Structure 1
Amino acid sequence: MPNTPTRVIIASRIFAPEPAAASYMLEAIAREFARRGSAVEVLTTRAPRRYRPKDPSGVRVRRFPVLRDAAGYVRGYLQYMSFDIPLLLRLLCRRRADVYIVEPPPTTGAAVRIATALLRRPYVYDAADLWSDAASQATSSTLVLRALRTVERFALRGAAGAFAISPGLVSRMREIGIHTPATPVGFGVDTTAFAFRAVAAADSPYFVYAGSYSEWHGAEIFIDAFARFTELMPGYRLLFYGNGSQRESLERRIAELGISGVEFHAPVGGEELSHVLSGAVASLASLKPRQGYDYAFTTKVYASLASGCPVIFSGEGPTVDFIEEHAVARPVGAAVGYDAPATAELMLGAARAPLPAAERRQLSTWAADAFSLSRVAERVVDCVVAATERSRATS
């Protein structure tokens, strides 16, 4: 039976308590390694002051300051470099680990590949998504896209292994020439943070879009749908919790349509977001088709269901399959093509027949059992252990 690595280092620009899917996943992975007896060290950034770090038991978290954008996020090439360059030095100047785990962006993966080559140690890449695909929605510069693809291939090809959310993502890796052993591990939700909470009825009912809203998400579909929805059912709100490059374009669209009731909120912690989701009519998620990202799965679905909140999804891809598969037996929500009138119809249906508290509680219990992040973390650790063993066998 493979042995769990004695010493593990996780390198990531984001970690708990900053609210993000990657933060929750990495924290769960760190906990699972510690549970199995590994000495775990996390090299990450100093969290913004509004978040109070509470490091997992048995895990040493090393934080250092980095550049952040105007909204307070480590997002953008200068911001990434402010983490990646010191990271390279930090990795080389500390005791070697048996294996390293690296979270995107690809520049961080490249820094870890260089460091681990010098240290003669394996690393495993968290292939949460492919940044070079996503970047095609933010820029048309072939030079930038080619450079990013080159860096991403360099980061992934040097890894002893990788873990991905879905088989579709692994297939996409193969299409662009990355043949690193990769394991689909799925994704899950932190059930200690996301659960149904009985909340008092809001003065004005609301829908929630929680998470990032970049070009390839196509969240503008919900602005158009909400405009149609409020013509028939006024008094509702549409709440955005998160951040993204589309903020300005969404606000312009709101102004063009002359609608009210749309609010933008900064990201919040899991428990607070779970409270918001527990009281929502439904959560909203989207994936704009034909953007080179159709294989992606919208992981925000798990947090919503674990909070007892049904989902309205607009778009194509594996999220549609997921909702249609489970909607046969449970009120998980509904999916529709990327179409504003059809999306508005689903919103109207959800508002006219809101899910009762008892059914929300049952939905939450089922989702917590089926999609616990701790189970995903177990699969990730198994993947890392197997990659470490392969590296030892070939070295």
Structure 2
Amino acid sequence: MLSPKSTETVRATLPAVGGAVGEITTLFYDKLFAAHPQLLRDLFNRGNQANGEQQQALAGAIAAFATALVEHPDVRPDAMLSRIAHKHASLGISREQYKVVHLHLFAAITEVLGDAVTPEVAAAWDEVYWLMANALIALEARLYEQAGALHGATWRSCTVVERRQETADVATFVVRPDGGGQAPDFRPGQYVSVQVTLPDGARQIRQYSLSGRLDDALQFSVKRVAGDPAGEVSNHLHDHLDVGHTLDISHPFGDVALDDGDHPVLLASAGIGCTPMIAMLGHLADTGSARRVIAAHADRSESDHAFRADLDQLTAKLPDAVAHVWYERPEGAWPADRTGLADLSRLDIPAGTTAYLCGPLPFLRAARAQLLDAGVAAADIHYEVFGPDLWLGAA
């Protein structure tokens, strides 16, 4: 809870800080990487830094958290931090790193806002920072404890035991922990972090949804991404990772996971967003679920649609499931009402449905709006976005 004095100060200065937060976060990262260049090389996503998405995500998180504190001073906004905590846990972020962030973030705030940062203003925003940081530290500590990972030691060496080409641009890798250990349990919808060493020596990390589990092994699927450095890890995996190769993989994390209720469920995805949905659908089929299940997917074409056969097979196994598919550019005979973008407003969505969404941000925004119009409760719409969450505070 933000103190009353700091609440008034933050409320008064929020427009100024909010208006400059993009400049502040950009300068913060410049200062951080100047002092600790290995972080950009071995921890932060170089592609997201280059295109500015990480700066936007941090700015949105700070602004959303501060706004929540002043608008709801009696509520600790842990729920909005859950996604960040899971991402941090998958990277092995430690308590000590928050002190480093604090040092360079406040140096950036002072440099950008200048004389406006009085001792009173600095103290108020310092309180905001540590409320956010300590909440994340507590959430991450619980995640590490649940994973049996002391102080964030979540990484395990794994060997690729199978590789499958789902489409021209999507490959599935099945990995088994080295040393005879069992693959960790995961909730359908979660992801793992994958660390690779690139030709320039950088150890870059990316998150990939788990698309299934096979005989004490985990499988994740990767879409080749065009562009450099945005697709440097996905391209490396496609070009160099094969059966017998080893790589470091984190414990599974992710706060968007299939619940265990019996109410209807909608699984809606676009493009490579199908990967967590296939894991959820597979779990429902494996457990013989009697739930009403609606699977909806949009893609560019049949040949671009990864797990197309799995979608049909898994829905056929369920007693009350149906699949709806849209293609922007169908390659053969295809219904006109299923050509183009997904339109969830045309589906018969039962009352009490819980929806899970995954795909590009425009798809998520459109799908969420359609579901709200259809009467699905906002609290029952969950989304996963690959990369920095640029929707924080707007969803």
Q: Scaled by the length of structure 2, what TM-score is found?
A: 0.30
Q: Scaled by the length of structure 1, what TM-score is found?
A: 0.30
